[in-house]
Each structure stands twice: as C-alpha cells, then as structure tokens.
A and B are shown apart, each in its own frame.
Chain A
Amino acid sequence: MDTNKSLIDRIVNGDNGAQELLYKMFSAQMYTVCLRYINDKEDANDAFQNGFLKIFDKIKDLRNPDALPGWIKSIFVNECINFYKKWQKINSIYVNHKAEGIDNLPSNYSSIIDKLSAKEIIKHINNLPPQYKLVFNLYVFEDLKHKEIAKKLEISVGTSKSNLHDARRILSEKVTKMKEYKGLKLNINKGQV
C-alpha cells in the first residue's frame, strides 16, 4: 500500500492513478464533511469538487506527508466556510435569526441521538442557521477552540460561545420534536390516537 509520501510524489509527478487512489481514500469522509456544512446538495457537490481540485493543485506544496489527512480536511472545511463567506449568507441570516430552543432536555436525549441515523443527524445539523452550523461543526467535529473559531470566522470569542450554546439548544429542540413527531406517527399507525 502506498505510503503518504510516495502517494504524494506520484501525484506531483502527474500520476492519474495516484490521484484516483487519493480520491478513493478520502472521498466519502470529505463528502460527509461537505454535507455537514452545506445544506444544498448541489452546493455541497461543488464544494467537494473544488476541494479535490485544490488538493491536486496544491499537494506539491505539502511539506509533511504525515499531515496529509489533516491537511485535506482543512481544505474542505475552508472550502465550506468560503462557500458561506462567498454568498454572504452568514450575516444576513444570522442577524434575522432569533435563537430558539429548549432549556430542559429530556432525560433520554442521549438515547434519542443514538436512535437517529447518521444522515438524520447531518440533516439536523444542516438545518441550523448558517453561523450556528459553522461554529457547531468547527467546535464539535473539527475540535477547534473558540479562539480559533473566532479567528477563522472573523467573529468574537463571545459570539462563538454564544453561537455554540444556541446551536446546541436549537439542535436539541429539533431532535426532540422530531422524536415526538415520530412517536406520534408511530402511535397513529398503531391506532392509539
């Protein structure tokens, strides 16, 4: 199996097979990243495609082959963030949004999450307002600190914290409601209502 170093060398030398191998290695993981950030599938496809084009273009500049997976992920995350910056959706949507949610989570919140599929979780995350979604993704999935998030999104640390808090509340509300709705649907089907 190709090590990162030899894989990079082959790509830099224009080996198409190596490009395809890299694509196969990381495509599912990175596509999932794009879907976490971008709601619209076509837009997510575009970001995903641009991300790989950027990788093939810039891989010659990668100094440390061991950092390949992290480097690839950072390119996709930046691509997704740039998608929002490009369309200036963050501010316009964020300003008009009033955070809602529930303060008291059901005790079985954890088990509710456990019963959701990956696609459903992604869908719920994606339904968050853009800036909440960005902060939530960066904090939870990219393991960034608030200071790093603030720098990346050009917001204050306080805003980042508050966004995360609101994102969690909204997410919990949506998930809970979904659960209740599903439960209701289930009961209707069983003729209990």
Chain B
Amino acid sequence: MSINYNRIEDEMKDKINENLISPPSHIWSNIKSVQLEKSIDKEAKRNKVFRKGSLFLFSLLFVSVLINFVLLHKVYFTDGVEELSTNSVVSYDKEKISQNKPVAPIQQMEEELGNEKSKIAIQNEWMKSDFDLSRLPSSPRIKKVNSNLASVNFKRPNTANNKGVVSFNNINKGDKAADKIKDLPSKLSSESKDEISFAKIDSSIKLQDSEIAIAEKEMDSLINETIPNDTVQLAKNKRVIEKHLLFNVDLANSNAVVSNPNNIGLGNKLENSFSYGVNSQLGFELSNRFTLYAGLGVYKQTLKQHFEYDSTVLVYESIFGRYNNLNGLNDDEEHHVVNNSYFLQIPLRLSYKLWEYNKFDLQVSGGVTMNFLLSSKTTNSSNLKLIEQGSKLPSYFFNYDVGLGANYQLNNNYALSISPFFRKSLAPLSSYKSIAISPYSVGCTIGIKKQF
C-alpha cells in the first residue's frame, strides 16, 4: 500500500509543536552562572594580559636603564689601553677631600698630582663616589663627543673660554699615531688651548716608552678602522655608550584596515585623515650601529568615515555606530563620522645605523608602542542622532612601527632627525558586528636629538 508519510509526519510535527516541553528550571540559573563566570574570566584574562604587557615593557625599560647606569656609565677616561689603565686610576688625595678642605681648582690639582706617572685614566665611577663634584670650582661632566670619543667637559677658571675638552683633534687616516701621542704633553701645556686631558693633567708628564708603544699600537688600529673626522678615542678597549634624548613631533596620515565592512551596510570605507603627536625618547647606543629607544608621548589619532545612506531603513551606518536620519538628509550630500582619540604612548624601538657620512647618518628602525586610551570622541558632520553605539577603542593596545631615519649633526650636542614611518596596531581593535578595525598611520617624525 502507498503510505502518505508527509501527512503522517505533519501530524507528528503539529502534535509536538502543540505540546512543547519546558526545560528544567535550574538551567536558567546555570546559564547565568556560566555567563558570570565567563565575564569574570574575561576580565581576569584581560588584566593578566595587561599586567604581563606592562611588566614586559617596564622590564625592558628597567634593563635599558640598568645597562645605561650600571654598565654604560662605567665610562673610562682612558687614553691609554687596558694594560695601562689597571695602574692608572688617578689617586687624588681622598684624605683631603674627606677633611672637607676646599677642592683645588684644576691648576692646583695639577700641581698636587705631581710626578705621578701612572695617572692615565679617571674612572667615572670613582669620580662620582670620591669626588664631591659640586665642590669643584667647575663641575666636570662626563660627556661623549661622538661614538669614538669619551671626554670630560669642565670649566677652567681664568681662561677666556672657560671650557676644557679631552680630545685629540685633527687626526686623519694615515696619521702617525706616535706623533700624536708624543705631541700630547706640549698640547696639554699650552695655555691658549682649551683642550686638556683630564687624565694627563700634569703637563710635565712624559709618557714612558712602553706606554707610548702600546698606545701607538692601539691608536694605529683605531685610525685605520673607524676614524672620526676630527677626533679619536685612544682607549678602544673601554666601552663607551652614548645616550641621547629625542624630542619628536609625529605628523601622520591615519586610516584603518576594516574587515567585513559590508556587515554594516554598503561598503563603508574610512578616509585618510591627519593625526599628530609629540613624544620624547631616550636613546641608548648599544653599539656603533644599534640604538635602543624608550620614551613617552601623546598622540592624537583621527579616523574619518564617509556615511553610506541606507534608504530602506533611514539610517546612516558607520563603524562607529548607527545614526538616525531625523532631519531627512539627502544622500547627495557628504556626511562623515569622525573619531578623535588621544593616547598616551610608550614607545620602545631599536634602530640600526645603515650608513654614516660626514654629518649625516641613515638608520632603519622598528619597535612596539604601547598605547593607553586617554579619551575618545565620535562626532558626525550632520547632527545625526546616535541610535546604536558602534566600535569602541580598547583602553590599551599595541602598535608596531617600522621606519627609516636620517640624522643631520648640527653641532656636537644637537642633531636634526627626520624619520618617515609606518605604524599599525598589532591586532584588530574592535569586534562590532564582526567588523575588525586595525588603525594605521603613515607619516614622518621630525625631531631634535640632544646628545649627552
């Protein structure tokens, strides 16, 4: 016989639909408990990521500072070599200092040092700990002239210029190291010159032949390797790492990569808009080529979206929200929604010096910036009423950035820095209707580099 299954099954269906079975009452409370648990987990996870991120950044900063102040600050004022420096720390009369006697001016110190022939180097740490620098008539300060020269700057009383710099000028490739070394005492004794070696403070010191031989050898190798234009450091074996401070202004064109824009309508796209920021960064030259930067800044990011009008529902849809078209605006007109956000930025980046010539150098750099949202405001150009909140930027997120950098040395202390960059969020920032936004900026950093 032919069976009309469809009819029988329709009967089954109707019967079941008319006699629905209610779930046990405890399930609703289970659902609420799981939801609560999830929200707590989510918050905990978010806090954990935040804590880890912060810890990581601060660890890096701490390590950077540690490297700088523990290792890097061991700037040895040697114009000899390692073997010499062992016995060459200036042994200034600590007893006099401890008795609170006025510290002698430089000339007096020269006399007191007498015929000590091994006073080749001054260790910065020793100076800091044993000399009360503030009581010196002019506070000597450790300074780096460039990557190859450690020097001490100090004021010399009773001189026209009041300045003294440890330096070996006019050394060029092919120069005889021996000549320079032998020249030193006479150079130091010259009152008219402001150049004086703090290490060789006694102009009557004659270098021993063995010292000269070692120094010559060391200097020769330096001259033949990386000769700076006008100076050279004799003590290659003592690491000197520069610090400098950058004051930057970021000017950028910002936009965002938007995934699934169709989820909110008609293929809305963000338009390019101008963003800017200021920051300062401390640079630690880890080597001749690598520099680590860490800093702090504020950045204003603007994201601008063109409205697409949806005539079927009389709303304007955007990534930042749905707006009610109460005023009956025409689609022919241009309507925009603009999001302005301010971030506190903690940049951490590494740069690599590609090329150096005269006063120019060229670098590539890359790094990560942690952004903390300070404020965010979304406005529209047509006074439309917001009916549904859209994307919200998270309270913090990470950017990566890559860029080129060019520096022009203005003088010994300052350099002009120009760095084109590309910066983008490491991960999408929003989950509104499955739309992910990854802001990016293409711009240029213009800054002044102050060397210490």
Which residues of A come within 8 Å of B, CB atoms?
A: 9, 16, 20, 23, 27-29, 31-32, 35-36, 45, 48-49, 52-53, 56, 60-61, 63, 104-105, 107, 109-110, 113-114, 116-119, 121-122, 140-141, 168, 172
Complex contacts, B388 vs chain A, CB 8 Å = 9
Task: Mark B1-32 against chain A: 1 for CB-CB distance below 8 A, else 0.
Answer: 10101011101110111111111100110111
For A122, list chain B residues within 8 Å (CB).
16, 21
Chain B nearest CB: distance from A107 CB in Å? 7
On B, residues with C-beta under 8 Å from A are 1, 3, 5, 7-9, 11-13, 15-24, 27-28, 30-32, 34-35, 263, 388, 432-434
Q: A32 to B20, alpha carbons, bound, how many Å?
A: 6
Say how far B419's CB is from chain A's closest CB, in angstroms.
Answer: 41
B31 pairs with A140, CB closer than 8 A: no
Whether B24 lies near A35 (C-beta < 8 A) is: no
Contacts of B23 in A (CB 8 A): 27-28, 31, 45, 48
Is the pair A63, B8 in contact by a Cβ cutoff of 8 Å? no
Q: Give the residues in chain B near A35, CB-CB below 8 Å.
A: 21
Q: What residues on A are CB-neighbors of B433 within 8 Å?
A: 60-61, 63
Please, which residues of chain B bring their CB within 8 A of the CB of A31? 20-23
Contact A56 B35 (CB under 8 A): yes
Secondary structure at chain B's binding surface: helix, strand, loop or mixed? Answer: helix
Can you name 13 A-B residue pairings with CB atoms under 8 Å? A9-B388, A16-B32, A27-B23, A27-B27, A32-B21, A45-B27, A52-B31, A56-B35, A63-B433, A107-B1, A113-B12, A118-B20, A168-B3
The distance in angstroms between the C-alpha atoms of A121 and B10, with both chains bound, is: 12
- A28:B27 contact, CB within 8 angstroms: no
What are the residues of chain B within 8 A of A27 when measuring CB–CB?
Answer: 22-23, 27-28
Contacts of A48 in B (CB 8 A): 23, 27
Residues of A within 8 A of B15 (CB): 113-114, 116-118, 121
CB B306 to nearest CB in A, in angstroms, measures: 21
- Interchain CA distance A32-B16 in the complex, whole Å: 8
Contact A110 B21 (CB under 8 A): no
Please report the C-alpha to C-alpha distance between residue A117 and residue B16 in the assembled complex, in whole angstroms. 8
* Chain B residues, CB < 8 A from A113: 8, 11-12, 15
Contact between A105 and B3 (Cβ–Cβ < 8 Å)? yes
Residues in A with CB closer than 8 Å to B9 are 140
Q: Which residue in A32, A49, A63 is a CB contact (below 8 Å) of B263?
A: A63
Residues of chain A contacted by B24 (CB below 8 angstroms):
45
Residues on A with C-beta less than 8 A from B3 are 105, 109, 168, 172
Name the contact of B5 in the complex, choosing from A53, A116, A168 (C-beta under 8 A). A168
Task: Give Cα A9 to B30, complex, Å.
Answer: 23
CB distance from B330 to the nearest CB of A (A): 26
Please tell me if the beta carbons of A49 and B30 are within 8 angstroms of each other in the complex.
yes
The closest CB in chain A to the CB of B34 belongs to: A53
In angstroms, how far is the closest chain B Cβ from the Cβ of A132?
14
Closest residue of chain A to B389, judged by CB?
A13
- Tell whether A49 pairs with B8 under 8 Å between CB atoms, given A60-B433, A122-B16: no
Shortest Cβ distance from A99 into chain B, in angstroms?
A: 16
Choose one: A9, A63, A109, A117; the contact of B19 (CB below 8 Å): A117
In the complex, how many angstroms separate the beta carbon of A121 from the nearest chain B beta carbon? 5
B-side contacts of A168, CB under 8 Å: 3, 5
A121's partner among B12, B20, B28, B32 (CB-CB below 8 A) is B12
Q: Indicate which residue in B5, B17, B28, B263 contacts A23 across the interface (CB closer than 8 Å).
A: B28
Question: Can you add 9 more A-B contacts, CB < 8 Å, to A16-B32, A27-B22?
Answer: A28-B23, A31-B20, A31-B21, A32-B21, A60-B432, A122-B16, A122-B21, A140-B9, A172-B3
Asked if residues A49 and B19 are in contact (CB atoms below 8 Å), the reply is no
State the CA gap A109–B9 with chains docked (Å). 11
CB proximity of A20 to chain B, nearest CB, Å? 7
Residues on B with C-beta less than 8 A from A52 are 31
CB of A1 to closest CB in B, whole Å? 20
Closest to A41 in B: B24
Give chain A residues whose Cβ lies under 8 Å from the Cβ of B432.
60
Residue of A nearest to B3 (CB): A105
CB-nearest residue of chain B relative to A14?
B39
CB distance from B14 to the nearest CB of A (A): 10
Contacting pair A49 B35 (CB below 8 A): no
Contacts of B1 in A (CB 8 A): 104-105, 107
Q: Which residues of B contact A60 (CB under 8 A)?
A: 432-433
CB distance from B286 to the nearest CB of A (A): 47
A140 to B17, CA, bound (A): 13
**Contacts of B16 on A, CB cut-off 8 Å?**
32, 36, 118, 121-122, 141
| CB <8 Å contact, B27 and A49 | yes
- For A116, list chain B residues within 8 Å (CB): 15
Top 9 nearest A-B pairs (CB, nearest first) are A118-B19, A28-B20, A31-B23, A140-B9, A28-B22, A118-B16, A32-B20, A32-B21, A118-B15
